[in-house]
Amino acid sequence: MTKHKAAGMPMDSVESARSWYKAHINIAQRKAEPAGVSAPPTRVAPDSFAGIGMGTVMDPAAVEPADPVETHDAARTRREIAEANLAEMKEAELRGDLIRVSAVKTTLSTVFATTRDTLLQIPSRLAPLLAADTDPANVQNTLHTEIHLALQHLSGASERVGQAESAI
Q: Tens of pLDDT along 96-121? A: 888 888 888 888 888 888 888 888 88
Written as one letter, the residue type at 118 is: T
Would 113 be classed as within a structural domain?
yes
Query: Using an 8 Å Cβ cutoff, are 118 and 156 in contact?
Result: no
In a domain, 35, yes or no: no
Tell me how many domains the chain contains: 1
Domain for residue 28, yes or no? no
- Give the whole-number percent of the chain exceeding pLDDT 70: 68
Beta bridge partners of 148: none
On whether residue 52 sits in a domain, the answer given is: no
pLDDT tens-digit map of 35-76? 554 544 444 444 444 444 444 444 445 544 455 678 888 899
User: Given a cut of 70, is residue 148 above it in pLDDT?
Assistant: yes
111 within some domain: yes
Q: End-to-end CA distance of the chain: give it in Å, rounded.
A: 43
Contacts of 103 (CB under 8 A, 6+ apart): 161, 164, 165, 168
CA distance 60 to 43: 7
- The answer to whether residues 67 and 42 touch, using CB atoms and an 8 Å cutoff, is no
DSSP H or E run through 59: none
Q: Is residue 156 part of a domain?
A: yes
Q: Which domain holds residue 142?
A: 101-167
92 assigned to some structural domain: no
The pLDDT of residue 88 = 92
Q: Is the pTM of this model over 0.75?
A: no
Residue 43 lies in a domain: no
